[in-house]
Amino acid sequence: MEKSPLSTVDNAHKLMSSISHRILRLEYMDASEGEGRECRGITKGVSMRINNIHFEDRDDVRTVSGTVIWEDSDRPSQDVYFGVPQEFQEYLIGSAHPFILGSIVPAARSGERRIAIDGAICPHLTEGLMTAVAQFRQWYGQEFQMPHIEAVGSPIPVLADSGRSAASFLSGGIDSLALLRSNRLEYPPTHTGFIKHCVTVYGFDMGGKEGHSEALARMLDSLGRVTGEVNAQLMPVYTNVKSLNDGLEFWIYQFHGAALAAVAHSLAPIIRSISIAATYDLKNLKPWGSHPLIDPNYSSSDLTVQHVGIRLSRLAKTRLVADWETGLQNIRVCTQINSVLKASSNALNCGKCEKCIRTMTALVALGKLGACRVFPVNDVSKELLKSVVIESDYQQACYEELIEPLALKGRDDLVHAIKKLILTYRMKRSLKRLDQRLSGGKLLALKKTGFKRPDGLRPSRRRGSGDRRLTERHN
């Protein structure tokens, strides 16, 4: 079953010119396609339904699709799919597992009471889903309710391990590159944990918008160089599972771990375990959609899901990648796709967003930015750092750990700029907590939305006067 990794990477690149524009037909299927669809004898309105799971060939892509019909939420039915290039069609499974994983968190968050699905669900996975939803409930409160799962069908036999290997997700970001590099440094090729397949997903941070097929081609070309060097198989997967609830906060805090696991389970015929790269280290763990208390619960008897990398800080991961030449030259941390596409024809990062600036500053601290060709500049100025707004404790921690190595490099300009960023963030955080205690967060919310001053009064400064006063507005 297993193909030569290097040959499949080359073939995948050749396919991209034809697939990238055709995949747009698959992206985020319009909800109207699912409305009125014949449900094969199932009465609509009894429970959330996932049915009609089937394979379909669409040009150069093989998909497994299913229809999701909502009961308690006022949403149209949706066709959800997972697809791979035709050369990987034997790796795709027509199981219910990807669909229950893709729908469980949106259903639990939306208050669906039941999920009826055409297909058997592994008891190990069912128990894990209940545990994951219970953890979300612990973190986020009563808004999470575990739907009762009604699986229709005989239990499916457990897949044999023969011919199946370890895999990881690979986006080109620091977390996933560090995971792959660490695996190569720590595991011998004969070990069952040695990563032989790298899965990259089209439909999460890119997909469904004009120009994203070009971004996909660039990403695959870059990741192909990485997997080619480590002799792993690059496997692109296309999915619209995120469309079940694509709210940004819901995605990052609750949904993306389950969505990644859903993609992995769609590839169960070829992978026996999947590693999801940790965002946070142990010191900075917080409720998140992908978490060491969450991801392993998405395992079944067929496939083990692992959360890997929590022992390493962001700087430690960046050092791992920076000391690996191929990794250094293929970093892709930027999600500002339109900005990247407007840059040079082979650009991977815009160099202006917070994530780019944070990564470039870390590389300066490690003495590696000058040797890195994937950012538009080879140094970071204090002016560039001034454009950053720290928005989370984790970002604060990432910048804090750069202070000492930057000071050792004699970059006092960047040290002072970072300290000012951190001070500003801490002041805003304290103000937000005070507002929450005194008014339940209403004052800052009012400031954000704006409010009309009584009697048409506005603040004004009289010319030549240093005092600020209210003057009447004249129409």
Q: pLDDT (tens digit, 9 = 90+) per residue, 272-325? A: 999 999 999 999 999 999 999 999 999 999 999 999 999 999 999 999 999 999
- In the 3-class helix/strand/coil scheme, how is 285-344 assigned residue by residue? CCCCCCCCCCHHHHCCCCCEEEEECCCCCHHHHHHHHHCCHHHHCCCCCCCCHHHHHHCC
Asked whether residue 168 carries a pLDDT value surpassing 70, the answer given is yes
Residue 320 burial (CB count, 10 A) = 20
Residue 70 lies in a domain: yes
Q: Which two tokens stand for residue 74?
A: 């006022």
Output 448 or 202, whichever has higher pLDDT. Answer: 202
- Quick one: 66 and 203 in the same domain? yes
- Quick one: 302 and 419 in the same domain? no
Residue 360 lies in a domain: yes
Share of the chain above pLDDT 70, in %: 82
Alpha-carbon span 136 to 257, nearest angstrom:
12
Nearest CA-CA partner of 172 in 279, 323, 328: 328
* DSSP-derived pairing of the beta strands 271-277 and 304-308: parallel
**Confidence at residue 209, expressed as pLDDT on a 0 to 100 scale:** 56
Q: Given 308, 332, 363, which residue is the final one in a domain?
A: 308
Asked whether residue 25 carries a pLDDT value surpassing 70, the answer given is no
Output 463 or 200, whichever has higher pLDDT. Answer: 200
Structure-token match 């928005």, residue found: 391
pLDDT tier at 216 (50, 70, 90 boundaries)?
Answer: confident
Residue 322 lies in a domain: no
Phi-psi region of 321 (alpha: psi -120 to 50; beta: other; left: phi over 0): alpha
Alpha-carbon span 123 to 111, nearest angstrom:
22
pLDDT tier at 437 (50, 70, 90 boundaries)?
Answer: confident
- Indicate the number of domains in the chain: 2
Asked whether residue 475 carries a pLDDT value surpassing 60, the answer given is no
- Quick one: 212 and 357 in the same domain? no
List C-alpha distances in Å: 202 to 346, 372, 468.
18, 25, 54
- Quick one: 303 and 359 in the same domain? no
- Quick one: 295 and 199 in the same domain? yes
Residue 446 lies in a domain: no
Residue 379 lies in a domain: yes
**DSSP letter, residue 251:** I
- Asked if 99 contacts 117 with a C-beta cutoff of 8 angstroms, the reply is yes
**Confidence at residue 459, expressed as pLDDT on a 0 to 100 scale:** 46
Quickly list DSSP for 392-403.
SHHHHHHHHTTH
- Quick one: 85 and 227 in the same domain? yes
> Crossing angle of helices 354-365/314-322, nearest 10°?
70
Q: Which two tokens stand for residue 107?
A: 């259903």
Asked whether residue 169 carries a pLDDT value surpassing 70, the answer given is yes
Alpha-carbon span 332 to 351, nearest angstrom:
11
pLDDT tier at 345 (50, 70, 90 boundaries)?
Answer: low
Residue 426 lies in a domain: yes
- Quick one: 273 and 361 in the same domain? no
Q: Given 249, 279, 308, which residue is the final one in a domain?
A: 308
Asked whether residue 43 carries a pLDDT value surpassing 60, the answer given is no
Average pLDDT over residues 352-361: 96
Q: Which two tokens stand for residue 87?
A: 């050369």
Its domain, for residue 393, covers: 350-439
Residue 466 lies in a domain: no
**Confidence at residue 448, expressed as pLDDT on a 0 to 100 scale:** 64
339 burial via Cβ count (<10 Å: 0-12, 13-18, 19+): middle
- Quick one: 41 and 142 in the same domain? yes
For residue 148, report the phi and psi dihedrals to the nearest 5 degrees: -75, 130
Which of 42-56, 122-136, 154-168, 254-268 comes out lowest in average pLDDT? Answer: 42-56
**Confidence at residue 210, expressed as pLDDT on a 0 to 100 scale:** 53
User: Per residue in 28-39, pLDDT tens?
Assistant: 343 334 333 333
- Quick one: 154 and 211 in the same domain? yes
- Quick one: 239 and 384 in the same domain? no
Asked whether residue 186 carries a pLDDT value surpassing 80, the answer given is yes
Alpha-carbon span 446 to 30, nearest angstrom:
36
Alpha-carbon span 291 to 276, nearest angstrom:
9
HSE-up of residue 443 (Cα within 13 Å, Cβ side): 9
- Quick one: 398 and 268 in the same domain? no
Residue 471 lies in a domain: no
Give the distance from CA 22 to its chain's centroid: 23
Average pLDDT over residues 228-232: 97
Average pLDDT over residues 53-64: 92
- Asked if 18 contacts 218 with a C-beta cutoff of 8 angstroms, the reply is no
Whole-prediction pTM value?
A: 0.84
- Quick one: 291 and 399 in the same domain? no
pLDDT tier at 100 (50, 70, 90 boundaries)?
Answer: very high
